[in-house]
Amino acid sequence: MSLIEEVSSYKSVAVVGMEKNTGKTECMNYVLRGCSRIGHPVGVTSIGIDGESCDQVTRTAKPEITLAAGTFFSTSEKFYHARRLISDIQGLTEWQTALGRLVTARAITTGKVILSGPVTTGLLRATISEMQRLGAHTVLVDGALSRKSLASPAITDAMILATGAALSTNLQELVRQTRFVYDLLHLPVADLSCAAQLASIEQGIWAISEDDTPVDLEIPSALLLQQQKERLYQYGGRLFVSGAVSDKLLDTLRMQPEIFHTELIIKDFTRVFATPQAVRAYLQKGGRMTVLRQPKLLAISINPWSPSGYTLHSDKLREALTEVVNVPVVDVRQQAAKTE
C-alpha cells in the first residue's frame, strides 16, 4: 500500500517534524497532492505557523502550502485574509488566538495559504471534527515535536514523522536521534483495566494496586519525588505519572532497590522530555516504561538537505534508517519526481 493510500484510510493524520526544516511542509504538500489526485477529500490545519515562503529564524526559503480546489482548511483571520486562492468560509470560531479567530473554509480554486491553526488540544479536536463534519474524509495536522502535547495520539489517529539533515548533518547521529523518537512511539501499551480512568487524571503520581485500582500517592509533582520516595512502592511497582517524564524522575527511580519491579506508566510518548541517555539508563537498570496510548506511525519522511547548505545522500540516509525502523522511509521529493 502506498503512503497516500495509507493516509487516506485514516480520519486524521499528523505530520510531525523533529526539527525545523526537516521536510514537514514538503511531506504535507506531497500528501495533499496525492489525496487530490485520487479524489480523496481532505482538510488541513497547523498547530503552529506553516506555509510561509521564508523561515523567520534561518531566513531560508521554505516551500509554501498549496491547496487543491475542494480542500478544507482552518487558519487564523490574519492569514486567511492573506490567502492566494478563492475560498468559501464554512465557519468562524468564537475563540481568539494571537492572530485572530480561526476561520474554517473550503478552497474553490487551487492556490497557496499560510496555516496558523488551533493552539490547544481542545480547539484542535473541535477543528478536526468540524472539517470532518463538513466533508473531509481525512484531516491533516501540521505538527512539531517542540509542541508535543498537540502531537498526542489522543488527538489524531496516525502520524508521519519528518526527519532530516536539519536535525544533524552527521548521518549516524541523525539516525540515532530519529531511532530514539521511533522507540518512544513504540513504547508498549500498559495492560490495565483502569486505563480510561488514568487518562482523565491531570496531576500527580499514582500507584496501581494489584487489582488495577489507581491510588493517589499525594505527590503532586515529580519534582518532589526525591523527598517522598519512601511512599512510592507501598502498593507495588506500577506507577502512573500524569505529567512530564524528566531525567530527574528517571534517575530517582533508577536508584531505587525496587527498580527491577518498576513499571512507569505514562499517557503517551509526548510526556517524555528526558534525554536518550536517561531513558536508556533507566531501561538498562531493569525499569519498564509503558503508555496508555500508542500512536500509529505510518512512515518516516526524510529531507537530506540542511539550511547550512550541507546535503546528505538520500539513498544512504534512507537505507541507514530502514535498518533500524520497521516502517517505510520515504524521500517525498524523490518520490514526487518519479510520479509527477
Spell out the domain ranges in the chain: 3-186+295-339, 195-291
CATH fold of 195-291: Cytidine Deaminase; domain 2 (3.40.140)
pLDDT of residue 147: 59
Read off the C-alpha cell for 120.
Answer: 490547544
DSSP codes, 284-335: HTT-EEEES----EEEEEEE-B-TTS-B--HHHHHHHHHTT-SS-EE-HHHH
Segment 86-131, tens digit of pLDDT:
999 999 888 777 788 999 999 999 999 999 888 788 888 999 999 9
Could you tell me the pLDDT band of residue 66, with boundaries at 50, 70 and 90?
very high
Partners of 302 in beta bridges = 163
Least confident of 37-51, 98-112, 141-155: 141-155
Query: The pTM is what?
Result: 0.90
* Predicted pLDDT of residue 53: 45
Query: Which of 20, 202, 42, 221 is CA-nearest to residue 122?
Result: 202
- The answer to which of 117-126, 169-178, 262-271, 321-330 has the lowest mean pLDDT is 117-126
What is the second-level CATH architecture of the domain 3-186+295-339? 3-Layer(aba) Sandwich (3.40)
Confidence check: pLDDT of 11 > 60: yes
| Cell digits of residue 321 | 534508517
pLDDT of residue 259: 95
- Predicted local confidence at residue 62, as pLDDT: 60
Residue 170 per-residue DSSP state: S
Please say if the pLDDT value at position 54 is more than 50: no
The set of residues, in sequence order, having a beta carbon less than 8 Å from that of 306 and lying 6+ positions away, is 21, 164, 165, 166, 169, 312
Averaged pLDDT of the chain: 89
Dihedral angle sign, alpha carbons of residues 282, 283, 286, 292: positive
Distance of CA 267 to the CA centre of its chain: 14
Which is higher by pLDDT, 223 or 242? 242
Give yes or no for residue 51 having a pLDDT over 50: no
Across residues 278-292, what is the average pLDDT? 97
DSSP-assigned letter for residue 64: P
Calculate what percentage of the chain has a pLDDT beyond 90.
71
**Sole residue written with cell 493516509:** 7
Q: Is the pLDDT of residue 60 over 60?
A: no
**Model pLDDT, residue 56:** 46
DSSP code of 54? B
